[in-house]
């Protein structure tokens, strides 16, 4: 709908959105990228909504200050692989090499982010295909395809025709978390809902899934901190 900036120290950028379903003015700070959305119900003047945001300015700044800083991926930066922190250093040869606590990335410093992202996506595809095959075999079902995306609203999905989609950023999370998401989506091959029967299947495929599920709820947004762009 539009944009506005609340003056102050620091200024706060707002995205204004009108919603026919909203019952009241609301402010939301995204845990993923820190974007602030001001939602206006039908019939509420923009001036009134902005006044509401101005009254909440101190709260907004506090929320934004508590967000962990984004990490621009490059030489010297650190990011997790399989939940283990890894330091990015310059490497030789043609391939990315992972050693204990270190990622050796060949090429110019400018090429490091793209090269590392490609390596992570390939690693994610291998791990997610292995986990999906394992759980699909245990369930006695087949999926039709596996695709990777950089989704922000969900970690995985299962289509009605058996296609599995995952966020490649799951490779950054602990192995148990990646396995849980694969078990969750494969379980949808049998139950396209979140009924008791569905969760019984998840429990059979991945006993003790509560821990990884909780980790994803509490820490999943942090996986989006790592930026591979300039």
Summarize pLDDT for 55-99 with one digit per residue, the tens. 888 888 887 777 777 889 999 999 999 999 999 999 999 999 999
What's the pTM? 0.76
- The β-bridge partners of 88 are 103
Rounded distance between C-alpha atoms, residue 26 and residue 31, angstroms: 16
Kindly report the average pLDDT of the chain as a whole number. Answer: 92
Beta 36-41 vs 26-29: how paired, if at all?
antiparallel
Q: Is 93 left (phi over 0), alpha (psi -120 to 50) or beta?
A: left
Per-residue pLDDT tens for 149-181? 999 889 999 999 999 999 999 999 999 999 999
Q: Find where tokens 């621009």 sit.
A: 72
3-state DSSP assignment of residue 64: helix
Phi first, then psi: what are they for 112, rounded to 5°?
-60, -50
Confidence at residue 63, expressed as pLDDT on a 0 to 100 scale? 78
Q: Does domain 72-227 have CATH number 3.40.630.30?
A: no
* 36 touches 27 (CB < 8 A): yes
Radius of gyration of the chain (CA): 21
3-state DSSP assignment of residue 44: coil
Q: List the domain boundaries for the chain.
A: 2-66, 72-227
First-to-last CA distance in the chain? 27
210-219 and 175-187 helices cross at what angle (nearest 10)?
Answer: 110
């Amino acid at each position: 709908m539009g944009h506005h900036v609340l003056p102050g120290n620091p200024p706060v950028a707002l995205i204004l959105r009108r919603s026919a379903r909203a019952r009241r003015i609301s402010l939301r700070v995204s845990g993923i990228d820190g974007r602030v959305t001001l939602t206006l119900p039908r019939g509420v003047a923009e001036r009134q909504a902005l006044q509401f945001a101005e009254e909440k300015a101190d709260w907004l700044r506090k929320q934004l200050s508590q967000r962990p800083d984004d990490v621009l991926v490059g030489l010297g930066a650190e990011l997790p692989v399989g939940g283990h922190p890894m330091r990015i250093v310059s490497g030789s040869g043609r391939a990315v090499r992972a050693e204990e606590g270190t990622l050796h990335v060949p090429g110019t410093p400018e090429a490091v982010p793209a090269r590392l992202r490609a390596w992570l996506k390939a690693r994610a595809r291998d791990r997610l295909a292995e986990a999906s095959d394992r759980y699909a075999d245990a369930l006695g079902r087949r999926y039709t395809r596996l695709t990777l995306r950089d989704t922000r609203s969900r970690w995985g999905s299962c289509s009605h025709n058996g296609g599995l989609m995952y966020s490649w950023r799951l490779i950054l999370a602990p192995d148990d978390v990646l396995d849980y998401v694969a078990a969750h989506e494969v379980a949808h091959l049998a139950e396209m809902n979140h009924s008791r029967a569905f969760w019984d299947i998840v429990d059979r495929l991945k006993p003790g899934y509560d821990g990884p599920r909780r980790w994803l709820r509490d820490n999943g947004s942090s996986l989006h901190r790592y930026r591979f762009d300039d």
